[in-house]
Amino acid sequence: MDHKQSLDALFKAKSIAILGASSKAGKLGHRVVENAKAMDFSGEIYPVNPGSKEILGLKCYKSLEEISGKVDIAVMVLNAEECIKAAEEIARRRDRIGDINGVVVISSGFSEMGDETGRSREKALLAPLLERGIRVIGPNCLGIIDTYHGVNTTFEIGNCPKGGVSIVSQSGAFAQSCLRSTEALGTIGINKFVAMGNMKDVDVSELIEYLGDDARTNVIALYLEGTKDARKLMTTAAEVTKRKPIVSMKPGKTELGSRAAQSHTGSIAGSFAMYKGAFRQAGIVQTFDVPEFYHTIAAMDKTPLPKGNRVCVLTVVGGPGTICIDELMSSGVAELAKLSPETKTGLKKILAPTANIGLLDGYIDMTGSVNEEIHHEVFKILIADPQIDAIIFITPPPTFLDAELLANKIVSAYQSFPEAERKTLLSVFVNGFSAADCRKILEKNSMPTLEYPDTAAKVMTNMIRYSQYRSKNSK
């Protein structure tokens, strides 16, 4: 079985055994069963616990030996010593029946402890599994998700919206917070999710390569604390980024941060400066704060990459527009678009005399004297301008306008153009959580929304940098 097939066995599993399943609500073993069911999994779920007969309507088995049906993957939600015994039981079943191709070890108490006891336990856990070619995620991990195949082995995440983002993370908490913080607005849709934990078998390089070949993955989101083979990771990433973006978040800028990362998963954190340079060479999009990471992922999944670096900033509020321009220009990558004469003429016909139309190249302040229909017409004019590659739209929550109508007018203007002619468009709603209704409509139509103008500028420059990289390096 090659690498792709072995990982397919995990993500496309048709049966899941949960060792340490619990009938008690709130327990990890109960949550794993609950979440496995929440994904509308069409296969078989086998809870295993000698003390229960039924869990959440599913027959519970005393041991793996009792399960007569085929088992594709096993999930361990046990204490560390019990995990070792479970690994031996899985090995015996593999020798006897030939099933169980993957194991997800959620349990902790292994090498991340940093002592000989933990390392010894980990060796005892892994040996019988790896000797038989059984792939292992973890230990000390949150688990995996494949929304299109209904696989969910996590204890934190229930059902989540489908999309083109695949998340690979050494921190389960960080990765699941990414989903939690965006689910209300639908800003991120998930294809696959992997919280790697200690990464003692399936590692980040193998996952990046796998997702690079995965047709449903548009963007790979990477939270990396460290790896034992940075060279392999960079070589793999350099091939994948020729086809699709890898967006990274790498902690450890300080010595204490590096030590904290190492204590979390036992990984070798390495020099932040070294990773920063290597990521740049490999074409990995680097983000340096959490909102930038989240929104770069969402934008790269939903909106086309800019064909150039000429950005138009369209606003009805001056201050946030200035903040946005400052951040754009400080990047050294973007430039403000020079509006065509036709664009200026068209805008002057429909905007108030007080509007600022290109007095500063690429900057349009419509002022508050606009209605929903004017927004529609302005967007059509700007998208049609061949001298504009991308647009950042900045507005407060619509107080005097109909929020739903405004969103639909923007969507209508954007979708009136063929896909090949649509520009990169980021919409900023200052204090954006009070504009949820408007944002949901845009997000549902694959039009990214944000809360802060400086974050929008960072996201835009990330997209421009990656677009330039790929145009030079794509096959």
CATH number at residue 39: 3.40.50.720
Residue 20 counted as domain residue: yes
Q: Bridge-partner residues for 19, per DSSP?
A: 48, 76
Distance CA 391, CA 404 (A): 21
> Is residue 217 located within the same domain as residue 341?
no
The pLDDT of residue 376 is: 98
Instruction: Tell how far CA 373 is from the center of its chain.
Output: 35
The pLDDT of residue 288 is: 92
> Is residue 53 located within the same domain as residue 169?
no
> Is residue 128 located within the same domain as residue 211?
no
Which residues, given as ranges, of the chain have pLDDT below 70?
A: 1, 181, 252-272, 475
> Is residue 168 located within the same domain as residue 101?
no
Q: Bridge-partner residues for 336, per DSSP?
A: 311
Distance CA 291, CA 451 (A): 9
Residue 146 counted as domain residue: no
Residue 224 counted as domain residue: yes
The pLDDT of residue 252 is: 60
Strands (E), 218-264: 219-223, 246-249
Q: Which of the listed residues 283, 301, 319 is the one where a domain comes to its end?
A: 301
> Is residue 370 located within the same domain as residue 297?
no
Residue whose C-alpha is closest to residue 217's, from 199, 194, 196: 194
Q: Which of the listed residues 141, 172, 202 is the one where a domain comes to its end?
A: 141
> Is residue 413 located within the same domain as residue 467?
yes
Q: Bridge-partner residues for 396, per DSSP?
A: none
The pLDDT of residue 253 is: 60
Specify the CATH number for the domain of residue 175. Answer: 3.40.50.261
> Is residue 106 located within the same domain as residue 217?
no
Residue 250 counted as domain residue: yes
Distance CA 171, CA 335 (A): 36
> Is residue 226 located within the same domain as residue 78?
no
> Is residue 447 located within the same domain as residue 311?
yes
Q: Tell me which residue range forms the domain holding 20.
A: 3-141
Residue whose C-alpha is closest to residue 104's, from 129, 67, 121: 129
Residue 411 counted as domain residue: yes
Residue 154 counted as domain residue: no
**pTM score of the predicted model:** 0.93
Strands (E), 252-399: 285-287, 310-315, 335-336, 356-357, 363-365, 390-395
Instruction: Tell how far CA 430 is from the center of its chain.
Output: 23
Distance CA 156, CA 35 (A): 8
Distance CA 190, CA 178 (A): 11
The pLDDT of residue 270 is: 55
> Is residue 295 located within the same domain as residue 309?
no
Which own/partner pairs from 2-7 qualify as long-range (CB within 8 Å, at least 24 positions apart)?
Answer: 3/206, 3/209, 3/210, 4/210, 4/213, 6/101, 6/102, 6/133, 6/135, 7/135, 7/202, 7/206, 7/207, 7/210
The pLDDT of residue 268 is: 47
> Is residue 283 located within the same domain as residue 350?
no
Neighbours of 336 (CB within 10 A): 19
Residue 149 counted as domain residue: no
Q: Which of the listed residues 280, 301, 322 is the one where a domain comes to its end?
A: 301
User: Considering its fold, how many domains does the chain have in total?
Assistant: 3
Residue 155 counted as domain residue: no
> Is residue 177 located within the same domain as residue 320?
no
The pLDDT of residue 174 is: 85
